[in-house]
Amino acid sequence: MTQGNIGKSNYSKAIWSLISRIYDNTSVADSVYEQASAYFIQSAAQQAQKTELEQQVFLFQNRQQQVSQRDMALVERNLQQAQSEQQSFQKTRDEEAAKRMSVLKQLCVDILQLIQADSAEETTILSAKALGTIQLLCPTQGKHVAPTNQRCKHLYKALLALRLLDKLLADNEINNSYVQQRLTACKGMSMLQADYHPFRDDVQIPLIMAALLQDIGSCHPDAQLILKGPDGTADEFRVLDNDERIALLQISFREGLKYVTQGLGLDKYAGNSRDERELHLKREAERQNFVLFLLKNAVKPEHGIGNLLKIPQIYTSVVLSTKSNYSYDALPKVALVLEKGVEKGVYSKVAVEALLAITGVFPQGYGVTYIPKDSDRQDLDRYEYAIVTGLYPADIRQPICRMVTRNLTYNVSAQGCIISVDNNLYYPTARKKLERISEERLLEILSKLVSNFEERKNMPLLPRCWYPEEYFSYVKNQNLWNKVVINNN
C-alpha cells in the first residue's frame, strides 16, 4: 500500500486538537479533564482555608460585642483585614472558576462550529466526517486502544448527542418546555450569524457541555483511588468488581455535579449595562440548571431527555471501548447491545431507534469488506474494501460507504456505494457466496489488499471486515467525505 506521506490532514489535526483540549496529559495541563483533576486535588485544601478565613471573621465579629471601647479600633482593624483576606480568597476562586468555564464554553462553541451548517444535509455530512475521523484516528489493535479511546470518547459522545437531539426533535419526541421554548424563540434566525441564538446558546452548547462533563467526576482523587489503586499502579481499564463499580459511579456522579456548580460556576458578564448583566446572569443560571438536569436525568432517563446523554454514552462505550476484550470486528454489535437493552426495558425504545436511524448498524469509519457487482449486476468472484462514511442509511443494515479499492487496487477517487446485506461479508449470507472460491484465489486477493502479506496471510480468508487504520494514516486518504456518486451494491 503506497499512498504518499503519513501524517494528519488539516482536518484530522483540527479533530485531534479538540480531543486534546478535552482530555490530555501534558505539562501544561490545560485540557478540561486536567483542569478538573487539578481542581479536585486542590479543593480539599482550599475548603479548609475557606473555613479558617470564615472562622477568623466570625471570631472578630464576636469580639466586637465583648471588648471595651478602648480596644474596639484594634478589633475592627483585625476584622477588616480578615474580611479583606476572605474576599480576596473568594475573588481568586471565582476568577479560577470563570476561567475554567470560559475555556469549556469556547471549546463547546468550536465543536459546534465544526459540525453545524445552515442546511441539514451539510450538517449531516460534517457530523459523519467528524465521527468517522475520530474512529479512523483510533488504533484498532495493541496497547494504545484503551487509552486512546478514553481520550476520544467524550467528543464522540457529544457529537452523537447533538444529532440525537435533532432527530428526536424532528420526530416530535422531546416535550421538555425549556428546549421547546428556545426552539420557538429562534424561528427565522440564522444559527451561524446571530450573536445570541436561543437554541444554539441555551440548548446545544449546554448539551455538549453535559456530554463532556458526564465523566468529569472520575478525576476526583477518591475515584482515582478506585481506578488506579493506593500506589497508582492498578490497571484503570480492568473490569471492576461490583462494589468498586458502584462506589465509582456514586463518587463520579456526586463530584461531577459539584464541579458544575463550584468548579465552573457561571460565565462572567463583560460590560457596563445593569440590565444586560442581569439578563446574562439569568441565562447563565438557566444554562447551568439545564446541564445539571441533563446529568441527573441521564442516570435513569426512562423516556425523558436524559436519553440525549445515556444512549450516546452506551453507543460510545462499545464503539470506543476501553475494555480488554475490545474487538474491532465486533463493533457493529453495538446495535444488538442497544436493542437488547430495549427488550429488557433498560433503554428507551424511541431513543435507541432514533440513534440507530442516524448511525445505522455500522459505525462511521468502519472498514467494510463486500462483494462487488459487474455491469450486469452479477456478483464478482472477489471482495473489495470500503469505509462507512454516511449517516442516515435508508436501511440500518446497509451502510453508506466510500469504496477504497476497485479491481483489488487502492483507488483514492473511487465512488460511493450502499452495501447490501447479501454482499457485506460481515453477514454469513455474503461469506457463504465466496466459499466456493479456491483458497489460492482468496490468498491472491489478500496479497493484493494487504501491505505485509507474509505477516498477515494467516488472516481469515473471508474477512468480516478490514482494518483501515494504516490506509487512513496517509494524508491523501483522509478526505473520504467529498461528494461522490453513490451506487447500490
> Do residues 290 and 210 both lie within one domain?
yes
3-class secondary structure, 420: coil
- Tell me whether residue 10 is in a domain: no
> Do residues 325 and 458 both lie within one domain?
no
> Do residues 439 and 308 both lie within one domain?
no
* Domain range for 36: 20-107+143-359
> Do residues 473 and 327 both lie within one domain?
no
Whether the pLDDT of residue 1 is over 60: the answer is: no
- Contact, 260 vs 104, CB < 8 A? no
- Tell me whether residue 122 is in a domain: no
More confident of the two residues 483 and 358: 358
**Confidence bin at 135 (pLDDT 50/70/90):** very high
Task: Please give the order of strands across the beta sheet that includes 416-418.
Answer: 367-370, 384-390, 400-403, 416-418, 486-488
**Segment 126-137 mean pLDDT:** 97
> Do residues 302 and 445 both lie within one domain?
no
Phi/psi at 33 (nearest 5 deg)?
-75, -30
Q: Quick: pLDDT tens for 239-254.
A: 999 999 999 999 999 9
3-class secondary structure, 173: coil
- Interatomic CA distance for residues 77 and 246, integer angstroms: 51
Q: Quick: pLDDT tens for 60-75.
A: 888 777 776 777 788 8
Identify the CA nearest to 6 among candidates 359, 473, 486: 473
- Tell me whether residue 455 is in a domain: yes
Cβ contacts of 303 within 8 Å, gap of 6 or more: 348, 350, 351
> Do residues 147 and 251 both lie within one domain?
yes
Q: Quick: pLDDT tens for 29-39.
A: 899 999 999 99
- Tell me whether residue 475 is in a domain: yes
Last residue of a domain, one of 341, 359, 377: 359
- Interatomic CA distance for residues 459 and 467, integer angstroms: 12
- Contact, 149 vs 323, CB < 8 A? no
> Do residues 416 and 437 both lie within one domain?
yes
- Interatomic CA distance for residues 408 and 100, integer angstroms: 51
- Tell me whether residue 13 is in a domain: no
Q: How many structural domains are present in the chain?
A: 2
- Tell me whether residue 70 is in a domain: yes
pTM of the complete model: 0.94
| Helix, strand, coil content of the chain in percent (nearest 5) | 60, 5, 35
Cβ contacts of 351 within 8 Å, gap of 6 or more: 164, 168, 173, 301, 303, 307, 308, 310, 311
- Interatomic CA distance for residues 155 and 111, integer angstroms: 8
- Interatomic CA distance for residues 349 and 105, integer angstroms: 32
Q: Quick: pLDDT tens for 284-307.
A: 999 999 999 999 999 998 888 999
Q: Quick: pLDDT tens for 169-210.
A: 999 999 999 999 999 999 888 877 778 999 999 999 999 999
> Do residues 412 and 460 both lie within one domain?
yes
Whether the pLDDT of residue 2 is over 70: the answer is: no
> Do residues 280 and 375 both lie within one domain?
no
**The pLDDT value given to residue 253:** 97
- Tell me whether residue 7 is in a domain: no
Last residue of a domain, one of 339, 359, 379: 359
Question: What is the overall mean pLDDT for the chain?
Answer: 92
| Sequential DSSP letters for 70-107 | HHHHHHHHHHHHHHHHHHHHHHHHHHHHHHHHHHHHHH
Phi/psi at 92 (nearest 5 deg)?
-65, -45
